[in-house]
Amino acid sequence: MDWKDKVVLVTGGTGSFGKQFIEILLAEYHPAKLIVFSRDELKQHEMRISGFDQPNLRYFIGDVRDQLRLRRAMNGVDIVIHAAALKQVPACEYNPMEAIKTNILGSGNVIEAALDAGVQRVMALSTDKAVNPVNLYGATKLAAEKLFVQSNAYAAGSATRFSCVRYGNVVGSRGSVIPIFMQQRQNGKLTITDARMTRFWLTLEQGVRFVIRCTEQMHGGEVFVPKIPSTRIVDLAQAIAPQAELDIIGIRPGEKLHEVLINEDEARSTVELEDMFVVQPSAALWFGHDWQAEGNSLPDGFRYTSETNPHWLTLEQIKQIIEPFQ
C-alpha cells in the first residue's frame, strides 16, 4: 500500500500515540493529507507551534461522541486510525458513563461515519486490559473491539474494512508508571501495589510502526497482537531508582497481577506468525480468515500472558528503554 496518495485521519491525534504516529507518517510515508482530530484546541496549537505545521497537515476540533462532526471530518478520507479513548483506569471507574460514551459509543460513531464516508480502512487501538477485563476501562475496550470486528458485516458490500491492534503498556505514555516512579524517586520511596506484578511493555515507536504495518496488511475483522517482552514491576522500579525503598501498598481495585493478550478461547482462532499473532474472527462468514496459510495454529489451552511470556526484558534493557525519559 502506498501512503502517498492516501488521506489519513487520526482520532486522538494530540495524544502520545497520535503525535508519534503523525511524526513518523509525515517523515517517512508522506501522505497526501493527514488530519488531526481531537477535542483540545490548546494541544493542537502546541503541536502546530512545535513543528507540526506541514502543508499536508490539517487540524480538526471534534469529539468522537459527535457523529456529525466525524462525518464532516471523514469526507474524502481513505484511512482512519482510531486512537481516541479515555484510558485512565481510576478515572474510568469513577466516571463510568463518560468512559462508555467515549470508548464504546464514540467507537460506534467512528464506525458509522467511516461507513457513510466510504473510508477504505479503519484501524482501532486496543489494549491487553480488554482480555478478561476486571475494570471498566478494559470492558469498554473489549466492547469497542467487538464493535470494530463485527461491523465488517455491515461493510461486506462496500470497500470499508475494520480491524484492531491490541498491545500492552507503552513505555512513558501519559499516565504510565514510569513518570510516577521518576517523580517518587526524589523522595527516596517508590510505591508498588504488588511485588509479583508483571506487564507487557513496548515503546511508543514500536507501537506506531506495528499499527502502520498492520494497517497495510489488514483484510478486515482481525485483531493483531505483537510479540512483545514482559517486565517485572520491581525490575522497572530498580532500573529507575536502584537506591529507593519500595513501599508495597496493595493491589488497587480494577488492577490485575498479570496481563493477558490472548486467552484460551481466542487462541482457537488465532494464527501465530514470526513476530505477531493474528486473532481471526471466529463467528463470521465474511473475510479475515486468510491468515491460516501464512502461519501456525496454536495448541489447545494456549494463553499469551505477561507472567508466562518467554521473552523478558533484562535490567540493562529496561535502563536503555527508559533512558529518553530520564
Which of 161, 216, 202 lies closest to 4 in space, CA to CA? 216
DSSP E strands, the chain: 7-11, 33-38, 57-61, 79-82, 121-127, 161-167, 169-170, 189-192, 198-202, 223-226, 230-232, 245-248, 260-262, 270-272, 276-279, 296-297, 304-305
The set of cell numbers assigned to 216 is: 497495510
- How many secondary structure helices (H) and strands (E) does the chain include? 13, 17
DSSP E strands, 52-116: 57-61, 79-82
**CA dist., res. 43 & res. 145, Å (int):** 27
129 catalytically annotated: yes
- Under a CB-based contact definition with an 8 Å cutoff, are residues 21 and 28 in contact? no
**C-beta atoms surrounding 101 within 10 Å:** 17
Q: Report strand pairing: 260-262 vs 189-192.
A: unpaired
- From 129, 141, 227, 256, active-site residue: 129
**C-beta atoms surrounding 191 within 10 Å:** 15
DSSP state of 252: P
DSSP 300-319: TT--EETTT-S-B--HHHHH
Residues taking part in catalysis: 129
